[in-house]
Amino acid sequence: MDAYTPTRGDRFTFGLWTVGNRGSDPFGGPVRDHIDPCEIVRNLAECGAFGVNLHDNDLVPLGKSQKERDTIVSNFKRALSENDMVVPMATTNLFSHPVFKDGAFTSNDPRVRAFALQKTMDGIDLGVELGAKLYVFWGGREGTEADACRDVRTAIERMREAMNFLTGYVKANGYDLRFALEAKPNEPRSENYFPTTGHMLHFISTLADEEMVGVNPEVAHEVMSGLSFPHAVGQAMEAGKLFHIDLNSQKIGRYDQDLRFGSEDPRQAFLLVRLLEGTGGGEPYRGPLHFDAHAYRSEDEQGVWEFARGNMRTYKILKAKARAFDSDPEVCELLRCHEDPELEALWQAGYDSKRAQSLRQIDLKPDEVARIGLRYERLDQLMMEHIFGVR
Ligand code: DIG
Ligand code: MN
Ligand code: MN
């Protein structure tokens, strides 16, 4: 037990599919046995997690009768209660069954789109029954290889129809549930629709119940495209749409690695934790901190729980470092930026002809301003020294 031992108050969660990942990959079968969901709850509680998330079929395999489903759910609820664990988020598996081979909500076959809606309504009922307040949509197979198969505008319209129908379902049932849309650029499809968090943020603005819908950005899914994850998260926060987050680690330009948080990219992980925790002054993120990652294929079950602990410890270590960085007097001095409220007042309230005229008459001396050094080298070196643990 030390300062980085996770506690319920840290709000760390894992999906059943993450620590339950059996280590299969496209070139080899499972290396670990199945772990029963109730066993996962017990082990995660012991590791210090706050909660567990699930796809419908992570808990209730396809084809179970209503009676079998109810027994499974009842046993799972008991395990949650006995271990003081919660289910903050649920989601639907709309990618494993072969019927989804050409997508779910965007499929060219209306029977597939109907089945996806059926399955999602059942999944929402299950999530709500377990206490989830968030429902994630990851469109794993919403995409193409043969792009001539449908107009991308048709795919967008079909996704919008599904979202509008399902927010309608939530409202009609009086569920206290919000949606979080998760972007990914490719894999398993060659091209996924809605490839980045930015695409999702625009799409949400076109929905009938857009206030119920936010995003669930994942580190790996933005980094796969070579994009800045902290910038994607920052834009979601600025739009009030960071409803959930999938934490892991990733090498740029690779397949979706879903590695242990912070293991590939401590600099980006530090900047992300600093943003989420608000140590730099901005409003913090207060939702669940979900690790959508899995252990290396090299690991046995002991390695899985070491993996789980590693995610949480790394987050807490970086949180302490971000606090130290933002309370470092030299950093605070370097971050004190030039402020001129009187000058900014000329445009910040929008256009006004008088203010525009005043603005155009000022001699701003751009050549003098251009010679000012910003001292970002010292700032960034201080940040790295905090990350390295020498400051
Ligand atoms: C993959 O990154 C996706 C699925 O695991 C799940 O639907 C979603 C929820 O975290 N992430
Ligand atoms: Mn992923
Ligand atoms: Mn994810």
Q: Which stretches of the chain drop beneath a pLDDT of 70?
A: none
Q: Please report, for the chain, the start and end positions of each structural domain, with discontinuous segments joined by +.
A: 8-326, 329-388
Supply the pLDDT for residue 262: 98
How far away, in angstroms, is 292 Cα from ligand 2 center?
7
Ligand 1 close to Cβ of residue 136 (< 6 A): yes
Distance between CA atoms of 47 and 136, rounded to whole angstroms?
24
Ligand nearest to the CA of 57: 1
The CA-atom distances, in angstroms, between 72 and each of 36, 37, 64 are 11, 10, 10
Supply the pLDDT for residue 253: 87
Ligand 1 close to Cβ of residue 292 (< 6 A): yes
**Residues labelled catalytic:** 55, 58
If one counts every other C-beta atom within 10 angstroms of the C-beta of residue 205, the result is 11
pTM of the predicted model as reported, rounded to 2 decimal places? 0.97
Q: Ligand 1 pocket: which of 246, 250, 257, 261 to mutate (most atoms <8 Å of CB)? A: 246
How far away, in angstroms, is 259 Cα from ligand 2 center?
9
> Are the CB atoms for 15 and 290 separated by under 8 Å?
yes
pLDDT tens sequence across 70-125:
999 999 999 999 999 999 999 999 999 999 999 999 999 999 999 999 999 999 99
- Phi-psi region for residue 281, left (φ > 0), alpha (ψ -120 to 50) or beta? left
Supply the pLDDT for residue 339: 87
Ligand nearest to the CA of 258: 2
Ligand 1 close to Cβ of residue 246 (< 6 A): yes
Ligand nearest to the CA of 132: 1
Number of the ligand 1 atom closest to the C-alpha atom of 95: 7
Q: Which residues sit with Cβ closer than 5 angstroms to ligand 3, an ion?
A: 218, 246, 292
- The CATH number corresponding to 8-326 among 3.30.365.10, 3.40.50.300, 3.20.20.150, 3.60.20.10 equals 3.20.20.150
Number of the ligand 1 atom closest to the C-alpha atom of 138: 7
For residue 160, what are its two tokens? 């919008």
pLDDT tens sequence across 126-164:
999 999 999 999 999 999 999 999 999 999 999 999 999
